Amino acid sequence: MLTLELKSITKRFGSTSAVDNLSLSLKAGEMYGLIGPNGSGKTTTLKVIAGIYRQTSGDVLVQGLDTLASPTKAKQKLGYVPDDPVAYELLSGREFLHFTGELYGVPREEREGRISRLLAAYHLQGVADGLFAHYSRGTKQKMSMVAAMLHQPSLLLVDEPMIGLDPESIMITKKLLTDFVVGGGTVLLSTHTLSIADEICDRFGIIKNGRLIAEGTHAELSAKSDRLGTLEDVFLALTSGV
């Protein structure tokens, strides 16, 4: 069974199509990079999958569960890291994580262990009891990553995870995502940081104006673009003039 299937997804805001007839399939143990220019529909796509936006047409299946027909069960299978991390500002980081874990039905004892391990991975133990409102952008980002992984989802939706992170935290984030995939999870990663995407992603989908214009590995995209070089070189060749 595929972890994620998008079947002809369209999302319109008024007369504007932010996502236009988009179809994707992701399997277990895969890191998929969704890349495209600003305003191409990447964040909207992730929000449709997460259930924040309702698609205008098309179907989203998470481990075979239709997100409109079975929204609660489908959402239990995924974790979402938004491009702008938010939480209840007057909760501490630890309270936010326990609140998130409880929403997903993670038993208290299991929550304690997972929170401890994930906080330690990011060296956040010393700030976990401070208010979320007082955190830096990078610390909020890391707390959001911890929260998304807490219930051990099958699918992680990650939108620009490296913004605001220092080099060590970027390295840790790459390892957490890679380990998640090695363990059988699936990651859909939206980012403009193409050098990092090239390091960790197995395949890429390039979208422009809401449409998928190319898909494949770095090598396959290079062949389609008739351009050897970095992922950025290939991306620019494929998106120019489309």
Q: How far apart are CA 46 and CA 14, in angstroms?
A: 19
Is 242's pLDDT higher than 60?
no
Is 86's pLDDT higher than 90?
no
Please report the domains of the chain, with CATH numbers, ordered by start residue: 1-77+160-242 (3.40.50.300), 86-152 (no CATH)
Per-residue pLDDT of 174-194, as tens digits, reads 999 999 999 999 999 999 999
Q: How far apart are CA 218 and CA 12, in angstroms?
A: 30
Per-residue pLDDT of 193-205, as tens digits, reads 999 999 999 999 9
Per-residue pLDDT of 72-83, as tens digits, reads 999 999 999 998
Angle, in degrees to the nearest 10, between helices 218-225 and 231-239: 40
Any idea what the Cα angle at residue 170 is, between residues 167 and 171, rounded to 5°? 90
Per-residue pLDDT of 14-47, as tens digits, reads 999 999 999 999 999 999 999 999 999 999 999 9
CA-nearest of 115, 123, 117, 113 to 169 is 123
- The mean pLDDT of the chain is 95
Separate counts of helices (H) and strands (E) for the chain: 9, 10
3 state DSSP class of 212? strand
pLDDT given for residue 241 in this prediction: 58
